[in-house]
Amino acid sequence: MNKTKKLVTISMLCALAYVAVLVGRIPLILFLKYDPKDILITIGGFIFGPATASVMSMIVSILEMCTISTTGPIGCVMNVISTCSFACMASFIYQKRRTLSGAVIGLCLGCVSMTAVMLLWNYLVAPVYMGYPREEVAKLLLPAFLPFNLIKSGLNAIVTMLLYKPVVKKF
């Protein structure tokens, strides 16, 4: 694939991921909202590799922070960490094993990775972000943050599985 086509494809996936944030936000648990941007970023990672997924995550999160987000730089960093832990893990595994089973294994490990990483980061960062004592945030880890991250990553994995083959066949 030539550089121009690659750049245009990545740009389009970033634009679609940003639109997914704009129109696809759904409140799930407490103040936590699901958005489907990780699906498009993961597909970009499946096509071009985990480094591309990482860059796409940063681009979309910065756009989100500058336009529609109320969480500022902390929310931006949390978005990048969340998306990268899912999309980069999935695309890394898929890059090593470009098969249906490689995609399934990558997406499952992406779910595990994102859930574990976000439990840790929510424990560390949410007290600053939310203005709650760490003990109160710790009480929310299992009943709120764990199910949210499992639902979010699970939905992203399922939809990515449904979309990746038709999209990836083009490349």
DSSP state of 70: S
* pLDDT at residue 168, as a whole number: 67
* pLDDT at residue 30, as a whole number: 83
pTM of the model: 0.94
- Higher-confidence residue: 105 or 128? 105
Query: pLDDT band at 79, cuts 50/70/90?
Result: very high
User: Residue 65 belongs to what domain range?
Assistant: 3-23+30-168
- The tens digit of pLDDT for each residue in 53-78 reads 999 999 999 999 999 988 899 999 99
pLDDT at 29 over 90: no
Q: Round to whole Å and give the CA distance between 58 and 60.
A: 6
Number of domains in the chain: 1
Question: Residue 124: which CATH number?
Answer: 1.10.1760.20
pLDDT at 36 over 90: yes
Q: Round to whole Å and give the CA distance between 94 and 157.
A: 13
